[in-house]
Amino acid sequence: MKSPKKDLPSPAVIEVLEEFDEDELDGPIASVMVFNANDASGAGGLAADCVALASVGVHSMPVVTGAYVRDTSEIVDHFAFDDEAVTSQASTILEDVPPDVFKIGFVGNPHNLSAIASLLSDWADVPVVTYMPDLAWWQDDQIDQYLDACAELMLPQTTVLVGNHSTLSRWLLPDWAAAQAPSALDIAAAAQEYGVPYTLVTGISLPEQFIDNVLCSGTAVLCSEKFERLEATFVGAGDTLSSTLAALIAAGTELTEAVTEALSYLDRSLEGGFRPGMGHVQPDRLFWAHPEGDDADFDESDEPFPFELSPNETRH
């Protein structure tokens, strides 16, 4: 009886292994660990995160915190993973690969927020980008519990908070009574009370169909970018923006420059938005990869998207 053959690498594989020089390896410029839910529609969640990160040239380390049940029109439900499943995913890979930035999306419940916050405390020198989505699809008591836990546990460890003006103002300034809506600086000042040094407030309505996006510290406006409002209802914009920002920070881009570049990328993604189903429009995060001629507004210089990656310090 013949003995079984051993699984040996082919001569070609051996040759490649012998020639491999780790010092000459060109790979992603940085790594970002993302905590977020899976979104089967592809609009947001980890699907948006990974494509946005890849567009900057950054390696993604996605940690699944749960799953949305949704179509392109609405979120029907959400199933959260338990906290042990979330932390096991993260802690195992963190023993092997150190991230340059953490990005926190929607993680499902206060238990997961607590577990992630505990994990982040061991990586205090790594910047954290926290995105707060619109939770209006959820039940009111669940929203309140989640927002309270996020304010108590996650914001003290957050470097940059990202969110829409209406979402952040309702959350951080619930007792606002002035006739005029709170400014981005008002929201950033409220976030700073929880320990957040920088807040990016998006979707601020301006006259003549424009919207403003403003980065603030707790005491000053650092930069702002105005864009023309597009006549469509989009889903996935917030995850796209926050992950692009996280990627640029991870790559060493100075904060205000990273915000400007991330907003420009989002605007181009929205301009090229598409409707894959019968519901809302999704950002085309791969607009830069389309063959030449697909869009008359694009030229060769747009492929890939020309991110300006600076060697400057991450924090402003």
**How do 75-80 and 101-104 pair as beta strands?**
unpaired
Q: Looking at residues 30-46, what average pLDDT do you find? A: 95
The partner residues of 167 in beta bridges, in order of sequence, read none
Q: State the DSSP code for 234.
A: B
Short-list 245, 253, 196, 249, CA closest to 219? 196
Q: Other C-beta atoms within 10 Å of 7: how many?
A: 5
Output the six-digit token pair for 254: 């100075």
Express each pLDDT in 95-126 by its tens digit. Answer: 999 999 999 999 999 999 999 999 999 999 99
At which residue do the structure tokens 């309140």 appear? 144
User: Residue 306 has what pLDDT?
Assistant: 64
Alpha carbon distance 113, 109 (integer Å): 7
Residue 58 has pLDDT above 90, yes or no: yes
Mean pLDDT of the chain: 87
H, E, C per residue of 75-121? EEEEEECCHHHHHHHHHHHHCCCCCCEEEECCCCCHHHHHHHHHHHH
User: pLDDT category, 21, cuts 50, 70, 90?
Assistant: low
Tens-place pLDDT, residues 271-294:
987 889 888 888 889 999 888 654
Q: For residue 313, what pLDDT band results from cuts at 50, 70 and 90? A: very low
Between 164 and 23, residue with greater pLDDT: 164
The pLDDT assigned to 312 comes to 37
